[in-house]
Amino acid sequence: MIKGALTRRRMLGTLAALAVLPLTRPAHATEPLGFGELYKSFGVLGLEFSDKVKRLNGREVRVKGFMAPPLKAEADFFVLTEIPMSLCPFCSSDADWPDNILVVYLGRKQTFVQYNAPISAQGVLEYGSWVGPVTGFVSQLRLRSASFETV
Amino acid sequence: MRKLLLALASATMLAGAAQAATVYPLDRATILVGSPFDFKVEFDAVVKPEDVKVTVNGQDYEAVFGKKAEFVAEEKGAEDKVLGSALILRDMAINEAGDYTVEVSAGGETKSVGWDVYATAAEPKAKNIIFMIADGLSVAHRTGARIMSKGMSEGKANGRLAMDDIPPVAFIGTSSTHSIATDSANTASAYMTGHKSRVNALGVYADRTPESLDDPKVETIAEALRRTGKKSVGIVTTAEIEDATPAALVSHTRKRADKAEIVGMMFDVKPDVLLGGGSAYFLGKDVPGSKRKDDKDYIAEFKNAGYALATDKAELAASAGANQERLLGLFHTGNMDVTLDRQFLKKGTVDKFPNQPGLVEMTEVALDRLSKNPEGFFLMVEAASVDKMSHPLDWDRALVETIEFDKAVAVARNFAEKNPDTMIVVTGDHTHGVAIIGTVDDDKPGEKMREKVGTYDNAGFPNYEDKDGDGYPDRIDVSRRLFLAANNGPDHYETFRPKMDGPFVPAIQNEAKEYVANEAYKDVPGAVFVEGNIPKDEDTGVHAVDDIVLQAAGPGSEGFRGYMEQSDVYRVLADAFALGAAKK
């Protein structure tokens, strides 16, 4: 049964990727940004954003990752993580977010997807501390006017 | 007929429940004489203040408590639901030891509780206490660490752990006030305050209001030491310093997740030595990596309060020569990496934080600093990741953490040998559902990995080697290795092998908010799907309710004996330090 579900998901993923290909925007408009490229340095006294993040601030980027289990199904933001989240900081009081997360504010509401399937999020990159007015969620790095698709 | 009886029974129970007020501290509380605490009465109904009657040993409470309590006409719950009236008296103390019966009534509600307010020895028995907690330490962790580290031949261990020569003196019951099961917040809190509490709570009784910072407080050991004398206080952990176990020495909150506030509570008490991870909650929100929602810069606050700061192994070593009287060592933004990753495999987040010290070095530095105080010290050392690796069923990492913990125990024993006025306690705070059932032998015939599990006579002895004599096996992925089996867990894949690429992540959440087996392990040769036996909203293996073993040596350790509640441990500590000696 597990095997069947996986095969089906793989197939759906392949179909989605095929469907999306013709719609991909020209390369110069959107730069890919990897989780490994977010920080120049990690340190106890703080992390430092990479030159690439600083350069792309305010520009449209595309980041691949995983959707962390969202606060609620209807929220218009979610947290993008490098690897699938094994814990749900929104649900469990002793779980905590990893250091390297990206908060994605959607341009329009989208139906949330399977959390352990990779997605590609696209939006305007912004860094610097910002407190979500509705949720109080503090983010250091965000995508605004974003959308996402399964990959 | 049976339905009718059930209906009657439930009606009776409801009526009964509706008429009992709740009094904090709870019935059978044990309270250190002179220690400040909050007294609270929660009525199930809205009552009139003039109807409220509280007596203590038959006298009006004000005469005994010395203060008048605040009456709250209506306490509010979620969505402003009225919960009933309450009576709150903050920061009171009882200065005469003895049995106290508190009787409360209002409207149709009555409640009677008894408290044991205890004094201690007049003179201290110990000058120093080193309280060593391996979080989640179960018997399997000890046995496994011994076999992995020392080896075994012909049924006899080839060496002894440092903890093997500290007498086991008590079995400790870890249950919480609302459940037989427990977590590290209320278990550590019981040790460090003498009061049991509820899961997730620290230094408080868990009241009914949603606010997490208003619950009735009890005194922590660090606060008691500040109140009664000049001993130093040290906290060493491999977790975030604001995580539940270290937080238990200083904190008062219903929610262990109030980590930003817990850092503030640490700052209020100012332990003389603080070593661990968790710097993210010390950084103002504008600093990348911060997890605070405010601009508080606790790095600066601690420095201004006379703390030397160390952020890696080299700075920790150099801190011995620092002029500042206190030491703050933060070595990771989150939990520190585990020994297997930090020292051997370089996995986890070791690439980001390559120079983290280990528990042994941190314990050595802490003892060196604290022992300079002629008044003595209380040091709590926590091997946090015995638990943090047992949750995801990563038994190899949990065992290596236990070996590291044992090396820290050796440091403590060495200190106590030179300073015989030191009591050492070695224990866990709760257990895990794990046991060693034999070995996995890659050379055992069989197609499937389960055929390679050796039980009884077929288990033989593992072939770990320690040629460099550092106490750690040279490799954990040997051909005949220990097989630890969890008695609970989420859906996951059992790989029968150590996780060489980083800590095991057995399950991840799906879109239905259920934890499902992590498919990253599906294709490991021989992996077998194991269906979980706990609810699907549980992400990892859970704590066991089993008693834990407490070992102790040194002056005052004779107070530990037989079965004890976790909260009784505090009384032995308080007695060793004479924290409740009659005032002269």
pLDDT per position as a tens digit, B150-193: 999 999 999 999 999 999 999 999 999 999 999 999 999 999 99
| Beta pairing partners, B279 | none
pLDDT per position as a tens digit, B457-513: 999 999 999 999 999 999 999 999 999 999 999 999 999 999 999 999 999 888 778
Indicate the number of domains in chain A: 1
Residue B62 pLDDT: 96
Residue A15 lies in a domain: no
Q: How far apart are CA B583 and CA A70, in angstroms?
A: 56
Q: What is the CATH number of the domain that holds B87?
A: 2.60.40.10
Q: How far is CA B161 from CA B147, B291, B381, B408, B496, in A?
A: 10, 39, 17, 11, 26
Contact B392 A86 (CB under 8 A): yes
Whether residues B177 and B293 share a domain: the answer is: yes
Pairs of residues, one from chain A and one from chain B, whose beta carbons lie less than 8 Å apart: 113
Residue A46 lies in a domain: yes
Residue B537 lies in a domain: no
Q: Judging by DSSP bridges, how do beta strands B453-454 and B434-441 pair with one another?
A: antiparallel
pLDDT per position as a tens digit, B238-252: 999 999 999 999 999
Mean pLDDT on B93-107: 97
Whether residues B175 and B313 share a domain: the answer is: yes
Q: Which two three-digit tokens encode residue B259?
A: 């980590």
Whether residues B317 and B368 share a domain: the answer is: yes
Interface list for B 214-253 with A (CB within 8 A): 240, 244
Of A83-87, A88-92, B266-270, the range with the highest mean pLDDT is B266-270
B245: helix, strand or coil: helix
Give A76's pLDDT tier (boundaries 50, 70, 90). confident
Higher pLDDT, B13 or A84: A84
Whether residues B111 and B159 share a domain: the answer is: no
Higher pLDDT, A76 or B455: B455
Q: Which of A44, A92, A141 sits opposite B332 (nearest CB)?
A: A44
Residue A114 pLDDT: 67
Q: Which of B293, B513, B516 sits opposite A131 (nearest CB)?
A: B293
Whether residues B440 and B324 share a domain: the answer is: no
Q: How far apart are CA B251 and CA B262, in angstroms?
A: 6
Residue A86 pLDDT: 72
Question: What ipTM does this complex have?
Answer: 0.85
Mean pLDDT on B113-137: 98
Residue B522 lies in a domain: yes
Residues B568 and B192 sit within 8 Å (Cβ to Cβ): no
Residue A107: how many CB atoms within 10 A of its CB?
14
Residue where a domain stops, chosen among B86, B118, B150: B118
Residues B335 and B353 sit within 8 Å (Cβ to Cβ): no
Contacts of residue A138, defined as CB under 8 A and 6 or more positions apart, other chains included, come to: A129, A130, A131, A132, B285, B290, B291, B292, B293
Q: Judging by DSSP bridges, how do beta strands B326-330 and B273-277 pair with one another?
A: parallel
Whether residues B494 and B392 share a domain: the answer is: no
Task: Count how many residues are written for chain B.
Answer: 584
Whether residues B523 and B571 share a domain: the answer is: no
Give A1's pLDDT tier (boundaries 50, 70, 90). very low
Higher pLDDT, A70 or A65: A65
Residue B500 lies in a domain: yes
Q: What is the CATH number of the domain that holds A69?
A: 2.40.50.870
pLDDT per position as a tens digit, B415-452: 999 999 999 999 999 999 999 999 999 999 999 999 99
Residue B201 lies in a domain: yes
Indicate the number of domains in chain B: 3
Mean pLDDT on B260-273: 98
Whether residues B361 and B457 share a domain: the answer is: no
- Reply yes or no on whether the pLDDT at B1 is more than 70: no
Distance from CA of A136 to the nearest CA of B (A): 8
Residue B430 lies in a domain: no
A140 → chain B, closest CA residue: B288
What b/e string do you get for B512-525 counting C-beta neighbours within 10 Å, with b at 16 or more? eeebbbbeebeeee
Residue B561 lies in a domain: yes
Residue A138 pLDDT: 85
- Reply yes or no on whether the pLDDT at A38 is more than 80: yes
Whether residues B507 and B564 share a domain: the answer is: no
Domain that holds residue A118: 26-150
Q: What is the CATH number of the domain that holds B240?
A: 3.40.720.10
B475 touches chain A (CB under 8 A): no
- Reply yes or no on whether the pLDDT at B11 is more than 60: no
Residue A111 pLDDT: 76
Residues B434 and B140 sit within 8 Å (Cβ to Cβ): yes
Interface list for B 319-348 with A (CB within 8 A): 330-334
Whether residues B312 and B452 share a domain: the answer is: no
Residue where a domain stops, chosen among B84, B118, B152: B118
Residue B535 lies in a domain: no
Whether residues B80 and B165 share a domain: the answer is: no
pTM above 0.90, yes or no: yes
Residue B448 lies in a domain: yes
Residue A11 lies in a domain: no
Residue A1 lies in a domain: no
Whether residues B277 and B141 share a domain: the answer is: yes
Give B207's pLDDT tier (boundaries 50, 70, 90). very high
Nearest C-alpha neighbor of B166 from the set B130, B125, B127, B128: B130
- Reply yes or no on whether the pLDDT at B12 is more than 70: no
Residues B520 and B502 sit within 8 Å (Cβ to Cβ): no
Domain that holds residue B23: 18-118
Contacts of residue B444, defined as CB under 8 A and 6 or more positions apart, other chains included, come to: B451, B452, B454, B458
